[in-house]
Amino acid sequence: MNWVKKHKILTAIIIVVLLAIIGGAAGGGKKSTSTTASNSTTKQTTTKTETKDQTARIGDTARDGKFEFVVKSVQCGQPSVGTNQYLTKQAQGQFCLLTVTVKNIGTEAQYFDASSQYMYDAAGNKFSADSQASSYANPDGSTFLNQINPGNSVSGVIVFDLPKDKTPTTAELHDSSLSGGVKVTIN
């Protein structure tokens, strides 16, 4: 292998590692929920903190880390996505389009990354988002490759390529590649 190829491979590895570190530093992790119970006869207050898997449905608000998600719809059976003959991608099976709104509820800007999002079918098969198809499905470019500032939100489509005979049942949405994620029932 010549020096140029080794240099390109090393550069790609360094970029991947840096993106993982940045994603972790940006604040992933499971979201804890706190509940407070008060006993009126003893006037004591007890605080209980627990981590639980939260499952939302289409139209519900679901949170993971610094992002609040609302899945608007899911549409499967698309053979391709894109805006013209040059910016079109054909599905290996079928494209499933997950339309979402993502709001930054944190205190600093953060990137939303389509490649950190997943779909599952009833058998538990995990499907990754197709980043290229997602960019073609969002031609304005304002949704998934730009930072979302605190308090701002974006809406767009995340594209998944599933076999034609599969139906998604759940989406798992993450604020970063290292976060715990939140599940949304989509069937």
Q: With contact defined as beta carbons under 8 Å apart, do 106 and 64 qualify?
A: no
Locate 127 and state its tokens.
């499907």
Of 164, 145, 153, 135, nearest in space to 61 by CA? 153
Q: With contact defined as beta carbons under 8 Å apart, do 179 and 145 qualify?
A: no
The architecture that CATH gives domain 53-185 is: Sandwich (2.60)
Arithmetic mean of pLDDT, 141-167:
88
- β-partners of residue 49 are 34
- Please report, for residues 2, 115, 117, 146, the alpha-carbon distance to residue 112 in angstroms, rounded to integers and kept in the order given: 36, 9, 10, 7
What region, left, alpha or beta, does residue 43 occupy, with left being phi > 0 and alpha being psi -120 to 50 degrees? left
- β-partners of residue 75 are 97
pLDDT in tens, 56-81: 999 999 999 999 999 999 999 999 99
- Please report, for residues 29, 143, 161, 163, the alpha-carbon distance to residue 175 in angstroms, rounded to integers and kept in the order given: 9, 14, 21, 26
Arithmetic mean of pLDDT, 154-169:
96
Q: Given pLDDT bands bounded at 50, 70 and 90, which one contains residue 144? A: low
Q: Percent of the chain having pLDDT more than 70?
A: 68
* Confidence at residue 138, expressed as pLDDT on a 0 to 100 scale: 86
Cα–Cα distance, 58 to 184 (Å, whole number): 7
pLDDT in tens, 67-117: 999 999 999 999 999 988 888 999 999 999 999 999 999 999 999 988 899
* Confidence at residue 60, expressed as pLDDT on a 0 to 100 scale: 97
- Please report, for residues 85, 92, 93, 97, 101, the alpha-carbon distance to residue 68 in angstroms, rounded to integers and kept in the order given: 35, 31, 30, 19, 8
Helix (H) or strand (E) holding 24: helix 3-25
Which sign, positive or negative, has the C-alpha torsion 148, 81, 123, 55? Answer: positive
Q: With contact defined as beta carbons under 8 Å apart, do 84 and 46 qualify?
A: no
* Confidence at residue 65, expressed as pLDDT on a 0 to 100 scale: 96
Q: With contact defined as beta carbons under 8 Å apart, do 28 and 143 qualify?
A: no
